[in-house]
Amino acid sequence: DAGVIQSPRHEVTEMGQEVTLRCKPISGHDYLFWYRQTMMRGLELLIYFNNNVPIDDSGMPEDRFSAKMPNASFSTLKIQPSEPRDSAVYFCASSLDTSGATDTQYFGPGTRLTVL
Amino acid sequence: ILNVEQSPQSLHVQEGDSTNFTCSFPSSNFYALHWYRWETAKSPEALFVMTLNGDEKKKGRISATLNTKEGYSYLYIKGSQPEDSATYLCAFSGSARQLTFGSGTQLTVLP
């Protein structure tokens, strides 16, 4: 398996622009997670899906952020409009089953977002 | 807000030294404790998932122990090598069934 795939790997955009980050989870994994990593806050969970359904989006910072999972093999995280404080590395992870959250989460390579 | 703390924040050791670091987490509503290894410019890579009090896991020169009653886990590296240099993250899973990560221990092994 190719592992979790994210695109783009790097994104530089200007304040106010829309940004779309993409993720393809490992085939057969039921759970998909979006994380953001910053120096100040470390690695924090934004939202996660189970079988394409959003379960908990309490970590999404504000209405400018939205995430979708139209099918089992694809998810997007959108920021509209983007702001400089959104600059971070965004990771996508997937796991087989988190009943009891004992299953390993496999992380993608991340997207480094810079908003100027 | 769940409090997952790791110490020390950073650590420098000489090649061949053994080392250990700590992860503290809430002792209530415990489901699992995960350890990840995160090399610069790469993605976090799973090391261990621990679920039972007293669990001990081992992978090569790296091992971990778990005390759920008092809320801590230790990660040990025996005979550190330069390739062990990375940030080691622990993540706690409680009743919310999602992972809350610590801020990590950054290990540098000097040749």
- Top pLDDT among A96 and B81 is at B81
Ranking A5-19, A58-72, A98-112 by mean pLDDT, the lowest is A98-112
Q: Cβ contacts of residue B107 below 8 Å, gap of 6+?
A: B10, B11, B13, B19, B21, B77, B80, B84, B85, B86, B87, B88
Is the pLDDT reported for residue B74 higher than 60?
Answer: yes
Q: Which residues in chain A are contacts of B103 at CB distance < 8 A?
A: 42
Which chain B residue's Cα is nearest to A5? B43
Q: Which residue among A105, A108, A109 places its CB closest to the CB of B99?
A: A105
What is the reported pLDDT for B98? 81
In angstroms, the CA B76 to CA B78 distance is 6
pLDDT of residue B76: 97
User: Using a CB-CB distance cutoff of 8 angstroms, which residues of chain A are in contact with residue B99?
Assistant: 33, 45, 101, 105
- The mean per-residue pLDDT over the stretch A19-27 comes to 97
- Of the candidates B9, B21, B33, the one whose C-alpha atom is nearest the C-alpha of residue B80 is B21
User: What residues of chain B have any CB closer than 8 angstroms to a CB in chain A?
Assistant: 31-32, 34, 42-46, 49, 51, 89, 93, 96-104
Q: For residues B7-19, give the mean pLDDT.
A: 96
